[in-house]
Homo-oligomer: A and B are copies of this chain.
């Protein structure tokens, strides 16, 4: 603390300064446990590492699929079940309902929030944990291909506003993450496949070996073979964790995880969220692949291999009919990476390698070129 007196006190226009130090927060780590058949043992493990009163946030999908019963066994703990499940409930209203339910259950700062479900549950559960009594630990148990590959790691929490996705939220790293690949078997096929697009994205930006593995083992992946999926999930976690560790607050490097998302998010919003996130990102990946070709960044068969993979995943590779190209272009300006409403793109220079000119992971692309490619994809 520093106290400076200037100008000499006590003149009537005296101004005095006091500098308050905010101490550093020490480094810490959290463990991701990946496996098959581990869900039934998770609450015992949580009780060991975090001996606190648990509160469960989940949704009706998880109830129906029997995963809440599998997690709880014969325990009874206070919980909030999001209904309807999915993005339409991912808003401040649901957040308030969860927080009120926690208050009504008499929880204090000595509690822990357990989020069991997909991305919506994880994002809103993490958000609730971060603001309940100014912050309690959260344990993430992602149950979808999307959440296991992406949203459960990295500490981003949030809800949507009426205008934009994840408009409000916090950075709140989990205390622990448990990923049981058996949970993936309860997923609807469309969701299962769409979630794998994030794995394809991770392979494209960081791991050509994973890309080849997916090409090779896609049948086992689609059949949700436990050993195969444990490998895929772990590869994803490793890639995401390496990026997040280097840039936890998304100042620069972390943007590479947005590969395919710039146009993807705009298409997703332009479809009024009729497209799943992964489906929209599939289109975004194709679009950015086309941009790379035009910019001379694709010297091989990168785009061809991507499109072949997405087709085997039954993902769209073009913008569906009924979505006007102008609407996509207008929504592009809202992208979080935009500077002066001009979108920036993460590009790869080859499979597994992000293009990074002058230390910038997200680069401006001529709007005329973007417009041309969005038109071609319509």
Which residues in A have some Cβ–Cβ distance to B below 8 Å?
Answer: 1-3, 9-10, 12-38, 92-93, 95-96, 99-100, 103-104, 108-109, 127, 130-135, 153, 155-158, 161-164, 166-171, 173, 226-227, 230, 234, 237-238, 241-242, 244-245, 248, 250, 336, 338
- What's the Cα separation between A12 and B153 when bound, in Å? 24
Q: Are B170 and A10 in contact (CB under 8 A)?
A: no
A173: chain B residues within 8 A (beta carbon): 20, 22
Contact B169 A134 (CB under 8 A): yes
| Complex contacts, A99 vs chain B, CB 8 Å | 92, 161, 167-168
Distance A117 CA – B170 CA, assembled complex (angstroms): 25
Task: State A293–B241 Cα separation when bound (angstroms).
Answer: 56
Give bound CA distance, A12 to B226, whole Å: 7
Residue of B nearest to A166 (CB): B134
The interface residues of chain B lying within 8 Å CB-to-CB of A171 are: 134-135
**What is the count of identical protomers in the complex?**
2
Chain B residues with CB under 8 A of A153: 20
Select from chain B the residue with minimum beta-carbon distance to A127. Answer: B131
Which residue of B is nearest A155, CB measured?
B22
- B24, A161: Cβ atoms under 8 Å? no
- A15 and B34 form a contact (CB under 8 A): yes
Known: A12-B37, A15-B38, A32-B18. A169 touches B131 (CB 8 A): yes
| Choice from B170, B245, B336 contacting A130 with Cβ under 8 Å | B170
Contact (Cβ within 8 A) A168 B18: no
Q: A29 to B35, Cβ gap below 8 A?
A: no
Interchain nearest-CB distance for A290 vs B (Å): 28
State whether A22 touches B30 (Cβ < 8 A): yes
Please tell me if the beta carbons of A24 and B26 are within 8 angstroms of each other in the complex: yes
Give the contacting residue for A27; candidates B2, B3, B22; CB below 8 A.
B22
CA of A109 to CA of B158, assembled, Å: 14
